[in-house]
Amino acid sequence: MELDNVLWRESENIAIKRLWEYLCTYCYLPRLANENVLNDAIQTGVNSTEYFAIASGYDGSRYIDLKFNQFIGMVEKSGYLVKADVALKQITEEEAKRQAEVAAITGNSTNIPAGATNGGDSFVYGTPEGTNGTSTVREDPQTSTQIPKNKRFFMSADLDTTRINRDVQKYVEEIIQHLTSVDGAQVKVSLEVEAQVVDGFTQQTMRTISENCRTLRVRDSGFEE
C-alpha cells in the first residue's frame, strides 16, 4: 500500500536498498523492527500474483532475472521490486518470443515424404494404383534405434566474492533445485576455496579460520607456504 501511495507512484520499480533507507528515514512511513521484517514481506509478496515481482537488475529496457509468483529463498539488497503488471508484461512477451523461436525451428525440421502422413513411429504412404486398396507401412529408420539417455551431469563455476550469496542462491534455484527434483537422482554439491596472500596470513587469521573449519567439520583444509 505504501509503495502504491507514495514510493513508486510514478515509477515501475524501486531498489530494495533504497526502500529500506526510506523506511528508516521518513517518519510518515511504517517503522519496521528490523530488516528481516522487510525481507519476509518481500518473500511473501513475490510468492503471489497480487503485489510485486523481484529482479536482480535493470538494464534500462528489461528486468534481469525477473521472478514473479514464485518462491525465493533469499532477498538481495541490490535487487529491485517491480510492479506486477510491468513484470507480467515482460514475462508474457518473453514467453511469446520463445515460443515463436521454437515454432520456427520445429516447423522447418520435419520433412514428411509427399503423399505420406506421420503415424507416430512410422510413415504410412498413400495407396499405389493396382494394390487393391492395400497400403504399405514403412518404419522410420530414425525410430528403430533408441537415443541413449545421459545419466550424469557435472559443472563448475567461479563465484563473485562480493555477491556470493546472490550467486549461490541462483545456482540453487536455477540448477540444483531441478536436479534434486528428479526421481532417484543422487546430487552431490561440494565447495572449493583457495586464497593467496602475498605477505602471508597472520597468526590470528590462521587460528580463527582453522577453528571455524573444525567447528563446521570441513573435510579438508590447511595453510601452506
The model's confidence at residue 92, banded by pLDDT at 50, 70 and 90, is very high
Q: What are phi and psi of 125, to 5 degrees?
A: -90, 155
The DSSP letter of residue 67 is: B
Nearest of 168, 214, 205 to residue 73 by alpha carbon: 168
Q: Which residues of 192-213 are buried (b: 16+ CB within 10 A; e: fewer)?
A: eeeeeeeeeeeeeeeeebeeee
Averaged pLDDT for residues 82-87:
94
What is the C-alpha to C-alpha distance for residues 102 and 104, in angstroms, rounded to an integer?
A: 5
pLDDT at position 54 over 90: yes
pLDDT at position 198 over 50: yes
Per-residue pLDDT at 63: 93
Residue 52, C-beta contacts closer than 8 angstroms, at least 6 positions apart:
3, 45, 46, 81, 82, 83, 84, 87
